Every structure is written in C-alpha cells, then in structure tokens.
A and B are shown apart, each in its own frame.
Chain A
Amino acid sequence: MIYLDNAATTKPSVSAFDKARVFVTERYFNPSALYNEGFALQSELKKARSALLSPVADESAFELIFTSCGTEADNQAIFSFARRGNVVTTAGEHSAVFAAFAELKNRGAVETRIAPLNKDGSVDVDALCALVDNKTSLVSVMHVNNELGSINDVNDIAKRVKQINPRVIFHVDGVQAYGKLAFRLAKEIDAYSISAHKIGGLKGVGALIKRKSLQIAPYIIGGGQESGKRSGTENVFGIMQFAYAAQEKFLLLRQDYARLKDYRERLWELLDKDVYTRISPENGTPYILTVAAAGLRGEVLLHMANDKGLIIGTGSACSSNAKSRYSKAVIACGYDEKTADGVLRISFSNETTQEEIERAAAILNDIGNDLKRRMQ
C-alpha cells in the first residue's frame, strides 16, 4: 500500500511514540496533582511547549496553548478575536476557519468579508488589503492551502494589513505549514494554529500559538489548566509525542523540503499530461501536488487507485449536491466545474520514497487512461 494522503493525516512517528510511551506506562499522573510525580509532569509539558514553540517563534513574545486539534485552535482564535466591526478571511480557507466565519455571519454581530484567490490558490493580497479598514477587528489567512498547497506569505500580508489598521488581530491557520516550511513568526502575527497529526503526531492534539499580551476568551473553563486559557486535564502522552515528532521534523526540515520538492516535480513529470492538468503552483508546498483529470470524476479515480493499493485524496468528498461536490478552493481559483470535479490531491510525508512516487505515477496513469476510455 502506498499512502499519499498525508495532507489528511500522517502516519504517527513511531520513534516519537516510543519516547513518549513512558507517559502511559509509568508517568501517567495528573500534571495538576501536588505530589512529586504529578508535579514533575509540569516541567515535561513546559519542555514540550518550548520544543514546539521555539522553532517558529520568539518565546519571550509568544506562548503556546494546547488544544484538542487544529480546528479548536482556529475556532478559539476566531471567536475570541472577532469582536466588532468587520472580519476578513480568504476564499481558500479550511472549513475550520470558513465555517467559523459563516457562524459569525449567522450571529450577525460582525460583518464578514472574504478575499478572493489568485489562480495559483494564494490569496489576492491587494484585494484582501482593500477589504481591511479601520473597523476591521480580525484577519485570518491560512499559511498553506490544504487543497492546492499554495503558500501565502503571511508575515508580509500581516505587515501590510497592520499598516492599514494596526489594531487588527492577525490569525494564521498554519496546520499545513507547521513543521514543513522554514519560517519564523513576524511580530505582526498575533495567533497561529497548528495540529499534531499532520507531522507525525496523533489525532486529538493541536495548539494555538499566540502573542502573550493578547487576551483570549476561553471556550472550555474548569480546572484552569493552560493558565486558565484551556481547561481540561492535559493529554500528556499526546503532547509529548507531538513534541518529539516535531523535533524530528524540524531537525530534517530543509532536507525533507528539498527532497520532496524533487519528488513532487518527478511525479508531475511522470504523469500523463493528456489526462492530468496541474493545479498546484510550483512555488507551493512540496508536500502537496494537486492535479485535475478534467472530465473525469476525482472520487472515481480515488476508488480505482485505492483498489490498486494507492491511497490519495480528492479536493472534497462526493455528494450529489453539486455545490459541495467540487473542491471549494479550486473553484475559488477560477477553474470550471469540470476541472474541479476531477481534482486529485497527492500529498507526501518525510517517509515518502522515490520508489513510491514512481509506482504512484504508473498507477495514476493507468487508472486515468482506463477511466477515460470507459467514459468515452
């Protein structure tokens, strides 16, 4: 089986799992407990926090709050910071952000504004800046688009937005970027969401990185964990495994980046251009190659690939509701429905091998031509 749907989730890092095992077998205590064994876990969590935060941000200015997933981190940020006036996001956002904006619109307390995308899937920055005014309270822009792999230069966008209105809170959904791109958070970025299971961690662990000086309204209140910002007994094992997995990723980040960029280009080179059109931009993340088999249905190809031992993703799931069937981001880039219907997302991890790339290309060419013939 070749697994190339790593943008959906990655295989958990087994070495990180082994290192964290002790937090299940021996050090299973409650970190809030007063005895030594419990209390000692606080310093482990502190180490994990630092291991996750220091590679991307200045620890004196930013803090990290653990959550149950990237979606919770996004929601926490959006519902805390969308306070008044208007809020701005992009047409390419993941539903964790997009649906939260739709909810804000429903509640009617703030005006929501959506910036369009460029053809390559990045946000049209000029159009976004034109939506920001002195009444804007929040701007949320994803770092890497989960459907196309396009990269937004969030540091630069944040600077431009703050030039227009320095009081704006700038949030970034960094779920597809963290641990995969080399970057440091600019001081203009206020909050940044991450998720463990996209980089070898486990499902059920995420975090919101935020500027220390910024107040948030906690959703979950109770025992006062995470300095009162997110109550609930900490998922010690999940957090420790996440930190170990992230350490591994950051250590090899540049090598992985370069290698996967080669793999992505190699895969595209091998794909039959009579069947597939490239959607992902070349300057996007090397972890994602999105293509479209125009006139064919992506989900049918997904099933056919599955039967041949190749696991890939589509833009979004099949549904007879035409509106939701097509990849939202691909439509937002200006592609027609026929192209959007044929979208396949092939996404890699640091464990992906050259041989898998070659075999995947052969399978994709095979099934693409097979389906094309059957549909004629």
Chain B
Amino acid sequence: MEKVIILRYAEIYLKGKNRGFFEKALENNLQRAIKDIPCELVRQNGRYLVRSFAEEDAETLVEKLKKVFGIHSISVGMETNSDLESILEGAKLVCRPNGTFKVESHRGDKSYPLTSVEISKKLGGMLLATFPKLEVDVHTPDVVVRVDIREHGKAFVFGDVQEGANGMPVGTAGKGLLLLSGGIDSPVAGYMMAKRGMKVDCLHFHSYPYTNMQAKEKVVELAHILSQYTCGTTLYTVSVTHIQEAIHEKCKPQFMITLLRRFMYRIAERHALKLGGQCIITGESLGQVASQTIEGMTSSNSVVEKLPVLRPLVGFDKNEIIDRSLAMGAYETSILPFEDCCTVFLPDFPAIRPKLDEIAKEEAKLDVEGLIEEAFQSVEKIKI
C-alpha cells in the first residue's frame, strides 16, 4: 500500500487523434511543477499518478499540481491490492472512526468478481465492523470513501476530490506577449490565456526615474506568481520615460495616456514578433478607466498591424477580476502601493473618447520611429 496523488485530465478527453500531443505537453508541465520535490510521475490509463513521495510533501505537491492547467481533479489516496482486505486497510486511512460515511465504487477492471454495488456494500460493512461509532448516510455523509478498481490487481482508495486548474496544457495553444503592469488586471489576463494553453511572456513598461525600484520588483514578483501557472515566463522591461517626456513637451496634455498607449502597443507588437509571439494580451476591461473605452481601444488597436490583441477580461467586472486575482494569489502583490507608470505627467482630465484624426494630429508632432527605437535600447530581459 502506498500513498499516491491521482490526477485526472480536463478537456484533453475531448481530443481525438492528437491527444498524445496534449498528454505529452501536460506531462512535461506536471514534471516541471513538481521538479523540486522528490517523487515519481507516471501516466496510467488516462490519468497521472504521483508516487514515491514523502508523507510531509503531499500537501505541497497538491498545491503545486493545482496550478497546472489541463488537470480536472486531484485526489490524495492509497494505492492497494484489489482484494477487499487490502482495500479496507486503505479505507481505514481515508475514513474517520466516527460520524457518517458512504462508499462509492467504480470498476475500471470489469473482470473484477464483484460489481460496484457489491464492493460498496461489502466494504461499508467491513468499515462499520472496524469503527463501531461510524454510521452510514448515503445522502449527506461526512466522508465519502471512493474505491476505484484498476487493472493488474490494483485499486485506489481515496476521499476528497479536489478541483484542478482545468483548461488546456500550457504550450499547446501558441505564444502571446502579455502587457504586464503592476496592477490587478494584467496578471489575471495572463492567467486566463495560459488556462487555454497559451505560453505567455511578459512585457512591462516603466518610467524610471519617475517610477522606482520597488515598482519594478513588484512586477518581477507578479511575473513569478504568474509563472507558476504559465510554466515559466520571461519578463521584458522597456523604459517609456523619454516617450512620456516628449509627449509632455509637445502634445496636448489630455492625450498623454492615449498617445502613450499607442507607443506601448507598437513596441509590444514589434517585440512580440521578434520573440515569435502570435498575439498581444492585455488586461483591459471595457469602460474600466478612461483609456479602456471602445474609442480608447480603437485608438490603440489601430497601430497594431499584424497581430491580434486579445483582451480576455474585456467583459469582466472589477469584482470578478479581483476574485480571480485572489484565487491565483496575485492580489496581495498587485495592491502594493508602488506606482508602476508615471503619475507625474498624468493630466487632470484625460481624453475619454479620443478621435483618431485628433490623435494623428497630436502624434504628428512626435518622432514616433525615433522614440520607439530609443525605447528598444532600454529592453531588459529577466528570466523568471
């Protein structure tokens, strides 16, 4: 008898002939997630098993595995021989000595001499005999003892079924470049795309010396948190200080944000193409701030020529985004009070519905190409 962690697929089930590709990707991602803990990962009949780990590591392993996209559910249980006495030994560890319980059984091995119902009945009886204070409750039991009879004379006995991260394995749906600010939204946007299997790299714009080192450290920390879900990531930082100064010097103040965002999108697209990225990902949500109106989005979108801009949060309320941020463990870091983009040049009244011809007129005052080239000189790469 051995303690094991059972991992079940999510959507990969729906895949046909290319299922192997997804399974392989998932296996690599799982290996990567638990590489620091001594254990063994094996694929077995449409599921993965983690075994040969120290008892003390079980919880840590589950936490790490819960962050791997492509896993539907996770159970910690015992792998036993499939005779009822062995199963009982495992069930004793899953069940409690008092309170209520029921047994649910499943036969993967249809040649097993008992039916599922018979297994449940017999094992239930044996547990009642072992724990005299235990009672059966098939409707709302305190504990459900689940038995899964596998091939080769083995069985799994487990209690809880914990939900996995679901989604698709990262690396099976292309690569995108996430515009990562220090806020709440962008890490969630990265999470959402990784959930659908996309590999995510990050691009952060800073305005040093107007922003500080803590702000940058915060973004590095957010990238770290995100990387637990994205199977690693690379963070690129670019200075937009001179761009902001040029806009401040030459253009109408209400266009600061609109113009700056157009620069950011241009830089993002060029950088994404360099990295072999296939889209730009942003954390924009319609109407959340002045620059995220449909007019604002149109204005920034219109400078992106080749790649789609994906906005996985576009229809989310702030509360929904915060819930996801909390769930992925980024919220506490996101709300640290360091300014991530220059607020020194912020206009009192930004243009909320900027018109493209007005924007073009303002932008014509700037050496767009020269400023972008200069910004690219400041690129820093941080492997997370």
Structural contact, A319 and B337, CB atoms closer than 8 A: yes
Task: Let me know if B338 is at the binding interface, CB within 8 A.
Answer: yes
Structural contact, A318 and B339, CB atoms closer than 8 A: yes
B contact residues around A269 at 8 Å (CB): none
Chain A's closest residue to B241 (CB) is A374
A contact residues around B248 at 8 Å (CB): 374-375
Chain B's closest residue to A304 (CB) is B209
B contact residues around A299 at 8 Å (CB): 212
Task: Let me know if A283 is at the binding interface, CB within 8 A.
Answer: no
CA distance A299 to B214 in the complex (A): 12
Task: Let me know if B208 is at the binding interface, CB within 8 A.
Answer: yes
Task: Let me know if B245 is at the binding interface, CB within 8 A.
Answer: yes
CA distance A307 to B339 in the complex (A): 20
Chain B nearest CB, measured from A366 CB (Å): 13
Structural contact, B209 and A319, CB atoms closer than 8 A: no
B contact residues around A320 at 8 Å (CB): 337-339, 343
Structural contact, B245 and A321, CB atoms closer than 8 A: no
Structural contact, A300 and B337, CB atoms closer than 8 A: no
B contact residues around A303 at 8 Å (CB): 208-210, 212
A contact residues around B337 at 8 Å (CB): 319-321, 324
B contact residues around A229 at 8 Å (CB): none
Residues of chain B in range 178-227 having any CB-CB distance to chain A below 8 Å: 208-210, 212, 214
A contact residues around B245 at 8 Å (CB): 374
Task: Let me know if B344 is at the binding interface, CB within 8 A.
Answer: yes
Chain B nearest CB, measured from A41 CB (Å): 40
CA distance A319 to B210 in the complex (A): 12
Residues of chain B in range 317-356 having any CB-CB distance to chain A below 8 Å: 337-339, 343-344
Task: Let me know if A317 is at the binding interface, CB within 8 A.
Answer: yes
Residues of chain A in range 307-344 having any CB-CB distance to chain B below 8 Å: 307, 317-321, 324
CA distance A133 to B208 in the complex (A): 51
A contact residues around B339 at 8 Å (CB): 318-320
Structural contact, A317 and B209, CB atoms closer than 8 A: no
Chain A's closest residue to B336 (CB) is A319
Known: A303-B208, A303-B209. A319 touches B344 (CB 8 A): no
Residues of chain A in range 254-306 having any CB-CB distance to chain B below 8 Å: 297, 299-300, 302-304, 306
Chain B nearest CB, measured from A257 CB (Å): 34
- Chain A residues with CB under 8 Å of chain B are 297, 299-300, 302-304, 306-307, 317-321, 324, 374-375
24 A-B pairs within 8 Å (CB atoms) are namely A297-B210, A297-B344, A300-B209, A300-B210, A300-B344, A302-B209, A303-B208, A303-B209, A303-B210, A303-B212, A304-B209, A307-B209, A317-B212, A318-B212, A318-B214, A318-B339, A319-B337, A319-B338, A320-B339, A324-B337, A374-B245, A374-B248, A375-B248, A375-B344
